[in-house]
Chains A and B, each alone.
Chain A
Amino acid sequence: MDFNDTPEEAEYRAKVREWLEANAPRGLKGASLGDEDDSQLEAAKAWQAKKAAAGYAQIRWPKEWGGGGGTTIQSVIFGQEESKLGVHMGGPFAIGLGMCLPTVMATADEETKKRFVGPAVRGEEIWCQLFSEPAGGSDVAAIRTRAVRDGDEWVINGQKIWTSGAHYADFGILLVRTDPDAVKHKGLTMFWVDMKSPGIECKPIHQMSGARGFNEVFFTDVRVKDSQRLGALNDGWKVSIITLMNERASVSGSGGSRGGIAMSALRLAQRIEGEDGQPLSKDSAVREKIADWYVKSEGLRFTGLRSLTALSQGKTPRPEASVSKLVQAAGAQNIANEMIELQDQYGILLDEEFASADGQFQNMVMGAPGMRIAGGTDEILRNIIAERVLGMPGDIRVDKDLPFKDLPTGR
């Protein structure tokens, strides 16, 4: 067990740091995923292209696919150093490179792969993931968007929702129902789709936080070729598992700083005077909460490092990403609320001119409900942990043996 870099890791870190110092853009303001404006998107694309040219985009991927031909540890080291410089611009590419392209690479023919992988790595093309629907959130296999065969083509009608970045995406991977007579999981098929196709309409969703990062995406007689199919006909559920497994792999092992937001929480508490004239950081209730969150977020960081160790030893890490998201989202909501209550009447202020800590905790309070839902709700994550890690039986499935078209539906 050694927490320090090996000589090779230290050498790589030094090399990366030097390159970043010379090349990383500074002073750019980040945005939440999907809520980037045009200039932020351009800056992100330029940075991605620069990284790709230097072999720092998709460090783990083979060079023939435009990656860096490096190791998982190297990719984490790069992420840590990038994050230390405050450069957080990978957002628009995260879904494409983390989920869509791995799915394409696992299922498409050589020509398709050659067409798409390079441009995605270089940030020239952005991808989105079109799975969720109004009728299929946690229950993704309940989706209703239909694809009907017409010769060599498929005609698609229906609606997707919560699609991050769809409004600026160039391509997407699309899960549709091709056989409504089959049981729920058996009648789905995956396609890639050009987001500029006639009949696709994106409508940004106004989130409760005020941001507009996700979309409703409407499909009206959209035509895709059968050659755009990813995987076998009616095998879309299995293909979607590839996508979601990659989501979990891409989330874990991220860098993170020591103590994370617990340290900013402490700084804030040190600056605010309590009713006894002492800084609130001296209040024992406040101290306990900060300590709790520090220990939790450090626990997550160390868990990530354990997964990373497993990966680097060629072992399969346990699915700790579910744990990480579960703890992170609910924990952020709690600590953020503690920090705004600490500010007393001022805690309600969001205006950056007046809000404490630039409104960091107010914004977190507004973002946290979304974090607890997106990418698997707290409840679904607990099911995943209990069923896949601990081996508990699945829920009762009343829809298991019925043809999809005969399933009862609510609103």
Chain B
Amino acid sequence: MNFEFSEEQLALKDEVRKFLAAKCPPDSVRALMAEGSPGIDRALWAQIAEQGWLGAAIPEEYGGLGLGYLELCCISEELGRAVAPIPFASTVYFFAEAILRAGSDAQKAVCLPKIVAGELIGAMASSEQPGPISVAKINAEVSGGKLNGTKLPVTDGSHADTAIVLAKEGGTPTQYLVDLNGPGVTRTAIETLDRSRDAARIEFNDAPAERLGGVGEGLALFEAINDRAAVLLAFEQLGGADMCLEMAKAYALDRYAFGRQIGAYQAIKHRLADMYTGNVLARGNAYYGAWALNSDAPELPVAAAGARISASEAYWFASKENIQIHGGMGYTWEVDCHLHYRRSRQLSLVAGSPRVWKNRLVTMLEKRNAA
């Protein structure tokens, strides 16, 4: 039993942290959140690609580094900490994972090297209306290789080159690859809570669609991809939650009120202790998820649910209490608290809300009890 990252993995994490501190300071994230901003830092994206990190877990035969998911988790944690405004999650956790899992040899050969090179931004288009995804709520339809329907929100949809679209063919849910730069695609950027990430409404009118995986396998594949993405997103959430705690800690030591550092008052101190506690629990659950993902363990769905629920709770708590501890300053545009508050909402919702994951988790536990 060894429940820790290796020295090499921690060294990679450190390298990513230093890189992002230089290339992705909070001020550059804030600048990207101005009205009319594209919600993507193209220069950072190119530099990340240059480092090879987009292909950390992509096999060498497709141009990736072929390291593994533990290394990818280390990168994810740092991206979350920096609130990086790039389509890393959409492209790597969702798109590349879906191709690796369900793509044909040809699809892998076309997409994966481009992803590694930073030449293909991917997106996942599943949602169409409020509430969780279900078969009944998928109206997008493919017939004769042409897709019709509307997806909203599609994270990073304005910038993505290719999307994986959940649609029905002959009434059964199936996944498709759609070239977003091709015919029949109309995209509109939509304002969201997290302006550091783009989201779009995409209309498909007879857009050419290429099947990914088997007919009728759409929902199963959707869940399998979400399981994998959930673990990686949990590391982003963890990085963000730890950053919130560090910010709150630093402020509580700097700020004086009533003649003392505010960190000396138990009302503040105990809140910090609760933030720490939430983060420790989230880290434990995320590590279990990382192990399950990396070793392709049968425990992955349970581990992913635990990682996602725990990390979503921790980041939400840490990001909101970070604002509270900063007082009035925490509510200003210039202080970084809101970057995390916003990102925590984006990350908790993008692969399905905690409510849905809790329900899934208990369904799995019921099966365990029945066994």
Residues of A at under 8 Å CB distance from B? 1-6, 9, 73, 259, 262-263, 266-267, 270, 281, 284, 287-288, 290-292, 294-296, 298-303, 305-306, 308-310, 312-313, 320, 323, 326-327, 379, 381-383, 385-387, 389-396
Contact = CB atoms under 8 A, between A and B. Distances in A.
B269 A1 contact: no
B280 A298 contact: no
B82 interface: no
Contacts of A296: 281, 310
A327 B2 contact: no
A376 to B, nearest CB: 12
B273 to A, nearest CB: 4
B358 A3 contact: no
Given A294-B362, A295-B310, 7 more contacts: A1-B2, A3-B1, A290-B365, A292-B358, A309-B3, A382-B273, A382-B274
A5 B270 contact: no
A305 B280 contact: no
B273 A305 contact: no
Contact of A266 (B5, B249, B263, B362): B362
Contact of A2 (B291, B357, B359): B291
Given A9-B1, A294-B306, A392 B276 contact: no
B260 interface: yes
Interface stretch (B105-113, B207-215, B282-290): B282-290
Given A266-B369, A287-B358, A327-B281, A383 B266 contact: yes
A1 B282 contact: no
B288 A298 contact: yes
B309 A1 contact: no
Interface string B256-278: 00001101101011101110110
A396 B269 CA distance: 13
A385 B276 CA distance: 8
Contacts of A294: 306, 361-362, 365
B249 A390 contact: yes
Interface size class of B (residues with CB under 8 A): 35 or more
B253 interface: yes
Contacts of A295: 281, 285, 305-306, 309-310, 313, 361
Nearest to B360: A291
B109 to A, nearest CB: 31
Given A295-B285, A382-B270, A385-B276, A310 B4 contact: yes
B273 A386 contact: yes
Nearest to A284: B359
B369 A267 contact: yes
Contacts of A291: 305, 309, 357-359, 361-362
A303 B269 contact: no
Contacts of A312: 2
A156 to B, nearest CB: 35
B48 interface: no
A159 B228 CA distance: 59
B97 to A, nearest CB: 19
Contact of B1 (A5, A303, A310, A391): A5
B276 A270 contact: no
Given A1-B290, A2-B2, A2-B291, A391 B362 contact: no
A235 to B, nearest CB: 28
Interface string B335-371: 0000000000000000000010111011001101100
A389 B310 contact: no
Contacts of A308: 1, 3
Contacts of A392: 249, 252-253, 263-264, 268-269, 272
Interface of B: 1-6, 70, 245, 249, 252-253, 260-261, 263-264, 266, 268-270, 272-274, 276-277, 280-285, 287-288, 290-292, 294-295, 297, 305-306, 309-310, 313, 355, 357-359, 361-362, 365-366, 368-369
Contacts of B268: 392
Nearest to B281: A299
Most buried by A among B6, B249, B284, B359: B284
A298 B285 contact: yes
Contacts of B362: 266, 281, 287, 290-291, 294
A4 B1 contact: yes
Given A259-B365, A266-B362, A287-B359, A386 B284 contact: no
Nearest to A381: B273
Given A270-B366, A299-B284, A393 B263 contact: yes
A263 B276 contact: no
A332 to B, nearest CB: 15
Contacts of B294: 1
A305 B3 contact: yes
A394 to B, nearest CB: 7
Contacts of A267: 369
Given A1-B4, A313-B4, A393-B260, A266 B365 contact: yes
Given A1-B70, A309-B1, A391 B249 contact: yes
Contact of A396 (B264, B272, B361): B264
Given A287-B362, A390-B276, A299 B2 contact: no
Contact of B264 (A262, A301, A385, A395): A395
Nearest to A378: B270
Contacts of A393: 253, 260-261, 263-264
B273 A299 contact: no
Given A291-B309, A291-B362, A393-B263, A326 B1 contact: no
A385 B277 contact: yes
Given A1-B6, A2-B291, A299 B358 contact: no
Given A3-B1, A266-B366, A391-B249, A301 B284 contact: yes
Given A323-B277, A379-B266, A393-B264, A263 B369 contact: yes
Given A323-B277, A382-B274, A392-B272, A309 B306 contact: no
A322 to B, nearest CB: 9
A394 B5 CA distance: 33
A386 B310 CA distance: 21
A306 B3 contact: yes
Contacts of A259: 365
A292 B355 CA distance: 10
B280 A303 contact: yes
Contacts of B1: 2-6, 9, 73, 305, 308-309
B270 to A, nearest CB: 4
A9 B369 CA distance: 28
Top 5 A-B residue pairs of the complex, sorted by shortest distance between their CB atoms: A302-B284, A299-B281, A291-B358, A386-B269, A382-B273
Contact of A299 (B249, B282, B292, B305): B282
27 contacts: A2-B291, A2-B295, A3-B3, A5-B1, A266-B362, A270-B366, A270-B369, A281-B362, A288-B355, A294-B362, A295-B285, A295-B310, A295-B313, A299-B281, A299-B306, A300-B284, A305-B284, A306-B283, A308-B3, A309-B1, A309-B3, A310-B4, A320-B280, A382-B273, A386-B263, A391-B253, A393-B263
